[in-house]
Structure 1
Amino acid sequence: MKKTIIACTVLLMTATAHAQFNSVPSGGNKRASVSEGIGITQVTINYSRPGVKNRDGHIWGEVVHKGFADLGFGTSKAAPWRAGANENTTITFSTDVKVDGQPLPAGTYGFFVAYDPNESTLIFSKNVSSWGSFYYDPKEDALRVKVKPVATDKSVEWLKYEFTDQTPSSATVALEWEKLVIPFRVDVDLVNTQIASFRKELRGSSGFIWQTWNAAASFCVQNNTNLEEALLWADTATSVSTGGTLSFQAWSTKAAILDSLGRGQEAIAVMKKALPYGDVNELYFYARNLAHLKKGKEAFDIFKMDYDKHPDEFLTNAGMARGYSALGDYKKALVYAQKARAQAPDILNKDRLEKMVKSLQEGKDIN
């Protein structure tokens, strides 16, 4: 009896030591965390990494039990696998997401797997503070999805999570261990989450400068969404209160929104107001866009305005070459292209001008 009490005391002291000190993880299982952004959504997984440890061929279906099992401890009589080691694995989504097409609100979840070689069940639980799955309760499930495990030739010694197949609004999260991958797809509503973030941030300190209002408005016009509210944001960006009254960027964003709303004449008027505020680069790239859109006369006028303000400079000579090319006057365009080539500040620009000169000599448009 006395030995039993002493043994229990030692176990308690050991558990307490692990709780109080930064010690080696139980069983040598490595603690790990992986985080990745999907759009503006941050996905973070905290877990411990068990090793195969010469148990090849005995992990899936043995070390990782199939389905739900009575683990002989805790309150759960039908527990899934903890999807890692030691404390239960957790996954955090900073915004609402969809997991394999099913909605899941923003938050932190305990992550469990009911393994089956044909179709595993992934469980996102509201329980995030337990040790393993000994206290798993299906009543705490926030979401279950079924996925197909994928066998691989390459063996992974230490369990890990990776993000693959990334797009601006999605990624595949892959649990990899031994010769098996359990993947699931995470999708975010990039546009709506970004707009919701803008609305929140513009009410804080970010709302005191024109650049943030312009960034929000510009995002909307680029994605052709939320244009009416974007116009209000553009109005604020060009106001005295935020300091954007002399900003070419802010005024041109407003013009683009008006154009997208079908208010073309108002857009033209706003751009006329914006032009005097443009610097050499802003005017050049605005004119380039017009030339690309086959608006030759409008493009030439802006290139000429830029040249008149900054005569005989590399960028404005290149602009005049593009302007005359947009009008179909390749002979005059060639003169300015050759001037710009001689003024090229680096090899990259020199090579670009060489190509422009060659195209113009062959009677081809360079826009």
Structure 2
Amino acid sequence: MKKAAFLFGLLWLTVGAASAQTFRGIDKTPMDMAYYPDDYAHDRKFAPAKIGTDKAMVRVVYSRPAKNNREVFGKLVPYNKVWRAGANEAPEIKFYQDVTIGGKKIPAGNYALLTIPTEKKWTIIFSSDLDQWGAYSYNEALDVARITVPTQKAESPLENFSIQFAKKDDKTATMYMGWDTTVVAVPISL
């Protein structure tokens, strides 16, 4: 009888602890995803005629930090240091097909997307070191490719860091990364 009472008490504590579970608050830097072609996953499921036989070229999953009245580049994001191109975990870029970026061939696969911003240009880094928080454990030996692109002035300030793709032609797209008054364009071709 004592054993049954003990087991019942243990079960009661376990159920009580499980129902008292609390959840963390919502992250202040929402996660986003960009595809090329745009909305590929949605259209593949719900509007297959829209994409026809096209295969996806690229997808990026990243977190979108906000400016919040702060000076971004050169201050919040220091110049000449590796930056995770967003917030939280380093963005993950997936190439569904082999691509060429800045004359460098990159095999289909998943990579961490990192940058080294300066005032006039950014170095874009594709690293095989996935699942890293920020760029704190960045290891240059794991770079798959690096390219350099010039900065451009945004038409209007962007409150949140953003990544977007634009079609150039059937085999070429441009990945735009922008925040505050800075934009960079990264050409991607099949």
- TM exceeds 0.5? yes
Residue 48 of structure 1: aligned partner:
63
Q: Verify the 8 A CA contact 1:35 1:43 in the aligned structure 2.
A: yes
Residue 61 of structure 1: aligned partner:
74
**Mapping of 1:277-356 within 5 angstroms?**
none
**Mapping of 1:16-35 within 5 angstroms?**
23-25=25-27, 28-35=28-35
If the length of structure 2 is used for normalisation, what is the TM-score? 0.76
* 1:23 CA drift (Å): 4.8
| Structure with max Cα Rg | 1
Q: C-alpha distance in 2, partners of 1:110/1:179? A: 24
TM superposition outliers: structure 1 runs of 4+ over 4 Å: 20-23
If the length of structure 1 is used for normalisation, what is the TM-score? 0.40
Residue 183 of structure 2: aligned partner:
181
The amino acid of 1:45's aligned partner reads V
* 1:21 CA drift (Å): 5.7
Residue 140 of structure 2: aligned partner:
138
Q: 1:66 to 1:37 in 2, by over 3 A?
A: same
Q: Which has the higher helix share?
A: 1
Q: C-alpha distance in 2, partners of 1:98/1:22? A: 41
Q: Verify the 8 A CA contact 2:35 2:56 in the aligned structure 1.
A: no
Residue 129 of structure 2: aligned partner:
127
% identical aligned pairs: 27
* 1:174 CA drift (Å): 0.3
* 1:117 CA drift (Å): 1.5
Larger relative contact order (CA 8 Å, sep ≥ 6) = 2
Q: 1:164 to 1:37 in 2, by over 3 A?
A: closer
Q: Which has the higher strand share?
A: 2
Q: Verify the 8 A CA contact 2:119 2:151 in the aligned structure 1.
A: yes
**Mapping of 1:1-367 within 5 angstroms?**
23-25=25-27, 28-37=28-37, 39-55=54-70, 58-68=71-81, 80-188=82-190
Q: C-alpha distance in 2, partners of 1:42/1:165? A: 11
Look up the SS of the partner of 1:148 in the other structure: strand
Q: 1:42 to 1:23 in 2, by over 3 A?
A: farther
* 1:35 CA drift (Å): 1.1
Q: C-alpha distance in 2, partners of 1:137/1:119? A: 21
The amino acid of 1:49's aligned partner reads R
Q: C-alpha distance in 2, partners of 1:165/1:153? A: 19
The amino acid of 1:105's aligned partner reads P
Q: C-alpha distance in 2, partners of 1:46/1:113? A: 15
Q: C-alpha distance in 2, partners of 1:166/1:21? A: 44
Q: C-alpha distance in 2, partners of 1:141/1:92? A: 15
Q: C-alpha distance in 2, partners of 1:100/1:21? A: 44
Look up the SS of the partner of 1:139 in the other structure: helix
* Unpaired runs of at least 5, structure 1: 1-16, 69-79, 189-367
Look up the SS of the partner of 2:37 in the other structure: strand
The amino acid of 2:30's aligned partner reads K
Q: 1:22 to 1:45 in 2, by over 3 A?
A: farther
Q: 1:107 to 1:117 in 2, by over 3 A?
A: same
The amino acid of 1:161's aligned partner reads I
* 1:67 CA drift (Å): 1.2
Q: Verify the 8 A CA contact 2:63 2:88 in the aligned structure 1.
A: yes
* Unpaired runs of at least 5, structure 2: 1-20, 39-53
Q: C-alpha distance in 2, partners of 1:186/1:22? A: 38
Look up the SS of the partner of 2:57 in the other structure: strand
Provide, for residues 267-309 of structure 1, a one-character-per-residue CA deviation record: whole Å limited to 9, x for no partner: xxxxxxxxxxxxxxxxxxxxxxxxxxxxxxxxxxxxxxxxxxx
Matched length: 155
